[in-house]
Amino acid sequence: MLRRILLIVGLLIVAGAVSFWLVTMPKKLPAAVLTAGYRPNLANGEVMFNAGNCSGCHITQGQSDRTQLAGGLKLESPFGTFVAPNISPDPKAGIGAWSELEFVNAVKRGTGRRGEHLYPAFPYASYALMKTSDVRDLFAYMKTLPPSANPSPPHELSFPFNVRLVLGGWKFLYFKPQEFVADPNQSAAWNRGAYLAEGAAHCAECHTPRNALGGPELDKLYAGAPNLEAGGRFATNITSHPKDGVGDWTIEDMAGLLATGMDRCFNEPTGMAGVLASTSKLSAEDNTAIATYIHTLPAKAGNGKHKTC
């Protein structure tokens, strides 16, 4: 009798593990997403690189050239410390030997080259909104950057967070990849801004609080959050709430911050310095577009004490 019960329990565990794997296994986009007739646009790839702030995390530590991508930045989190890898075009240490499809799958599906789940500290949950042609241009542009042979340092994570399979559960709960869909009732500038802010520029990733499982608290979208990456600085409430948020900023105020790194009160917000170094390279049109979109975020109260300007 006992043996039979043990056998049944054993089978249930195996069935559970198999279904967990089937439901959560790393997903890949088919090669068909790489449509024929595509011609790389390097200038657009550079725009995506700047909008996505790839250098913010992947820049070689200890130097300031934003095109050197040997990684090494440590990102602290409640789950342990992530270390940004080398994504320079070096074929061994970086991603120089990756195919275009492998790159698209990393950026839009969080699936690595060996078919493994990638940690969402790499903000692919937002990048998934990007058009595939924009990601292809980004890849083509990154191939023109200097290679570095520095090997990627390992993450500093403890059990169970060092087991990538666990990420399947996170993705199942919080990752619903979908390309950006424009809103026909809004202006072209608003749609461009929404595309950049929600996708490549991933503003919500830092400005939204997370629950214990690391999922975004959607009812507090953009309402401000503690930010460990920024050395404990609190990411401001950037909804249009007039007191707690930035509803009292004009579109020009916001676009000015993104372009110059200095806010309308002449502060240089250090907590977002890496992001601003990248947005300062965007065109005035793109920064105004992002500001136009952010300006319309529904007002949410809370965390006003962290407002600095």
Q: What is the rounded CA–CA span in Å between residue 249 and residue 295?
A: 8
Q: How far is the CB of 39 from ligand HEC (least distance, A)?
A: 20
Q: Does 309 bind ligand HEC (CB under 6 A)?
A: yes
Q: What is the rounded CA–CA span in Å between residue 28 and residue 106?
A: 9
Which lies closer to ligand HEC via its Cβ, residue 22 or residue 265? 265
Selection from 175, 294, 271, 127 nearest residue 223 by Cα: 294
Q: What is the rounded CA–CA span in Å between residue 131 and residue 294?
A: 20
Q: Which of 275, 282, 289, 297 binds ligand HEC (CB under 6 A)?
A: 275
Q: What is the rounded CA–CA span in Å between residue 79 and residue 57?
A: 18
Selection from 279, 261, 271 nearest residue 307 by Cα: 271
Which lies closer to ligand HEC via its Cβ, residue 10 or residue 91? 91
Specify the stretch interacting with ligand HEC by CB under 6 A; choose among 24-32, 183-191, 211-219, 228-236.
Answer: 228-236
Q: How far is the CB of 42 from ligand HEC (least distance, A)?
A: 15
Name residue, tokens 């992947």.
Answer: 58
Selection from 306, 302, 299 nearest residue 240 by Cα: 299
Torsion of CA 81, 87, 90, 91, to 10 degrees: 90
Asked whether the beta carbons of 186 and 292 are under 8 A apart, the reply is no
Q: Which of 50, 68, 236, 239 binds ligand HEC (CB under 6 A)?
A: 236
Specify the stretch interacting with ligand HEC by CB under 6 A; choose among 36-44, 60-68, 119-127, 295-303.
Answer: 119-127
Q: Which of 81, 250, 270, 283 binds ligand HEC (CB under 6 A)?
A: 270
Query: Which amino acid is it at 190?
Result: W
Residues between 125 and 154 that touch ligand HEC (CB under 6 A): 127, 138
- Does residue 132 come out as left (phi exceeding 0), alpha (psi in the -120 to 50 range) or beta? alpha
Which lies closer to ligand HEC via its Cβ, residue 101 or residue 290? 290
Q: Does 303 bind ligand HEC (CB under 6 A)?
A: no
Selection from 77, 75, 91, 62 nearest residue 151 by Cα: 91
Q: How far is the CB of 174 from ligand HEC (least distance, A)?
A: 15
Q: Does 272 bind ligand HEC (CB under 6 A)?
A: yes
Residues between 163 and 222 that touch ligand HEC (CB under 6 A): 197, 201-203, 205-207
Asked whether the beta carbons of 104 and 112 are under 8 A apart, the reply is no
Name residue, tokens 């699936």.
Answer: 111
Residues between 56 and 115 that touch ligand HEC (CB under 6 A): 56-58, 75, 82, 84-85, 87, 95, 103, 106-107, 112-113
Q: How far is the CB of 290 from ligand HEC (least distance, A)?
A: 5
Please give the residue ranges that form the binding site for ligand HEC (CB under 6 A). 52-54, 56-58, 75, 82, 84-85, 87, 95, 103, 106-107, 112-113, 118-119, 121-123, 127, 138, 197, 201-203, 205-207, 227, 229-230, 233, 235-236, 238, 246, 254, 257, 263, 267, 269-272, 275, 279, 290, 294, 308-309
